[in-house]
Structure 1
Amino acid sequence: MSAADYVDDAVAGIQGDGVYVSPDVPGAADYESAMSQVVPQDGSIAVVVLPADAGLELQYDLQLLDTLTRQAGYDTVVLAVGSDVQADSVAIDGDEALRIANEAESAAGDDTQAALIETVQGIAEALPTGDVGGSDGIGWPLPVIGGVVLVAAAAAGVALLMRRRRRSSATASGQVPAAIRSRLDRLRALRGDYARLGGNRVAAETTFAIDGLVSNTEQLFARLDAKAGRDQVVLAEGEYADKLARLSAALERDYLLDLIVHPELWDDPDQRIAEVRDALAAVSTQIVDNIKQVNARRGLLFQVSLDSLVGRAELRDWEREFKRSSGEG
């Protein structure tokens, strides 16, 4: 069964009583019973529990979380991929929801069911009451309990959502260091340029890759802030301030984007495009590995070098310009 199938079943399943447990989950009946006890009957909470192997096709850590937050229609999503519990919210700060989920997971040990229950209760306590205005400027009545979704699963590929962008701005004022934040902001701006090149496979794949890189970088620093020492945060900042600056330079309109649109104007365009795509994939993979190291309470390991990009004189010039415009040099 594919990740997309799991998502389709989950979205359909929560439309009834707000609880869906995949039959592939060990102890599915127990999950169904326990979640039904904590989910309000007013339709404000949906619970979805899927097996760990549903996440095998994920392109980035919170991909399913983003997908169900968009498709399910609930304000808050709590995601557990197997034993990994995550959360997203537009009713409260998304990073606060994620912190609650992480702490619940740590406190519950191997008891994922208990972690899910504690996450629902913790987020419910943090939710505001009364009428609130969404990012679209529309006021919606918010129940006392608020919208919460419990999810355990994996998902098919989707672009990041407005919810994720609202989380990004909140994260930027908190866990993400300023140097990293400036690079992620630039990557988001460049992402739109690639997204607008409709029908181009390389551009579409680059758009998707940037989404994953930005999301996972924010996840890394959020989890470092919650679980690791200051020395590990500083170490990661030094590593990724440099690498994200180089990637931003390579993804600029005057380099990769121009290579895609006007390959006939460049020497070795295929090789240059491959260099950038390989670098983007390598950094993304290392960040996911770092997240796993943080979750396992291990020290961070960095093994990726961007020598192919460093060797391009024009990219060195653009990287220096990026730092100057960011007030770093």
Structure 2
Amino acid sequence: MGMIIVAASDLSGVTDAVTGALQSGDIYIAPGVKSADALTNALTDVVPADGSIAVVVLPADADLGAAFDLELLDRITREVPQKTVVLALGDDLQAASSAIDTKEALFIANTNETAAGGDTQAALVETVQQIVEATPSAPGGSGAGGGADWLLPVVIGGVVLLAAAGTAIGLLARRRRTPASVTASDPVPAGIRLRVDRLRELQVDYARVPGDAVAAQTAAGIDALASHVEQLFLRLDAKADADQIALAEAEYSDKLARLVAALEPDYLLDLLTRPDLWDAPDERIGEVREALDGLTTQIVDNIKQVNARNGLLFQVSLDSLIGRSELRDWERQFNQGSKE
């Protein structure tokens, strides 16, 4: 069993150590993981001997250097021979598979993580067993292969976890690449990444509003939007040409900035907490929520179009936000908000 001796922020080093070990085995447990011997024995009893499933157990901080959600799982999956990878980062379970339906694999991992209540061994054992049961048998052994790995981001905690069940979180398709072609760069364009980062900051602000159902729903919606934006550009990076990526960047750099301006604390959050200080507060709140839902729906549609190898279609205009004089200078407001 190899050892991770690189810093957690060095994702390439962590990936190399893990994938190197998985070339000759199906279980990797990092040195220092508690109860490693018992965990190894438990996993050995359930992991198939046919090399179809790999299980990796790492410290919770092993992906600190990640530029986007599930980057470490993405890296590992693209480099190993196993068709299914179950990864535990502390008690956070993640799963990627090209052997079964991606949504089912994620649902299995998330359900067992929640049910185990922090018992990583129980969650891993149950996840592996259920994935084995869900994997169709194939004459000749290896099953349907192909050139794609399927990843689905795991969303954990509070309202975000509740939102994930309703939105199915979305899925990420990546082509297998040779090691030489893999880079550590973020496939999300810099301008889009800036807006996504601000959305995640705002999500925290809305989640902290006590006893406000609309604020909680908005927090969940913001998180879902941010995750879907990342997934769109990750899949565009894997499956689309440069023109489609540039088209999506131009479309969403504009619209995300407008939406961010409307979600800033001095607009929607203030409307929710001090509606008495605004004219037509319910109408204004409805406009922003409609824009958030509409933009998310369009991005999900774009993801489906990428999956089907179709051209991207854009139909959401956010006209209601443009019509508000307070939000017309949306670019200035976004830039000011991102510096705070």
TM-score range, shorter chain: 0.5 to 0.7
Contact persistence 1:227–1:294 (CA under 8 A)? yes
- Name the counterpart of 1:225: 237
Aligned mates of 2:327, 2:142 — CA distance in 1: 47
TM-score, structure 2 normalization: 0.53
Q: Does 1:299 align with 2:311?
A: yes
C-alpha displacement of 1:321: 3.2
Contact persistence 2:206–2:219 (CA under 8 A)? yes
Aligned mates of 2:310, 2:148 — CA distance in 1: 25
Q: Does 1:114 align with 2:163?
A: no
Gaps of 5+ in 2: 1-40, 58-69, 74-85, 110-140, 170-182
Q: Which amino acid aligns with 2:191?
A: A
State how 1:50-61 maps to structure 2 within 5 Å.
none
C-alpha displacement of 1:230: 0.2
Aligned mates of 1:179, 1:208 — CA distance in 2: 23
Aligned mates of 1:291, 1:220 — CA distance in 2: 5
Instruction: Describe the shift of the 1:222–1:119 C-alpha distance in structure 2 as closer, same or farther (beyond 3 A).
Output: closer
SS across alignment from 1:158: helix
C-alpha displacement of 1:118: 8.5
- Name the counterpart of 1:158: 161
- Name the counterpart of 1:198: 210
- Name the counterpart of 1:38: 51
Aligned mates of 2:317, 2:225 — CA distance in 1: 16
Instruction: Describe the shift of the 1:292–1:265 C-alpha distance in structure 2 as closer, same or farther (beyond 3 A).
Output: same
C-alpha displacement of 1:79: 4.9
Aligned mates of 1:69, 1:119 — CA distance in 2: 15
Deviations 1:180-238 (A, max 9, x none): 11111111111111011132101111111111111110110011011000000000001
Contact persistence 1:81–1:154 (CA under 8 A)? no
Instruction: Describe the shift of the 1:118–1:312 C-alpha distance in structure 2 as closer, same or farther (beyond 3 A).
Output: closer
Q: Which amino acid aligns with 2:318?
A: L
TM-score, structure 1 normalization: 0.55
Q: Does 1:207 align with 2:210?
A: no
Aligned mates of 1:198, 1:303 — CA distance in 2: 35
Identity %: 52
Gaps of 5+ in 1: 1-15, 20-31, 46-61, 89-110, 121-149, 165-170
Q: Which amino acid aligns with 2:96?
A: V
- Name the counterpart of 1:263: 275
Aligned mates of 1:216, 1:320 — CA distance in 2: 25
Aligned mates of 1:282, 1:300 — CA distance in 2: 16
SS across alignment from 2:329: helix
Contact persistence 1:177–1:237 (CA under 8 A)? yes
- Name the counterpart of 2:200: 188
C-alpha displacement of 1:173: 4.1
SS across alignment from 1:199: coil
Aligned pairs, how many? 222
C-alpha displacement of 1:307: 0.5
SS across alignment from 1:38: coil
Residue from 66, 78, 86 that aligns with 2:96: 78
C-alpha displacement of 1:300: 0.3
C-alpha displacement of 1:274: 0.6
SS across alignment from 2:209: coil
SS across alignment from 1:255: helix
Instruction: Describe the shift of the 1:303–1:119 C-alpha distance in structure 2 as closer, same or farther (beyond 3 A).
Output: closer
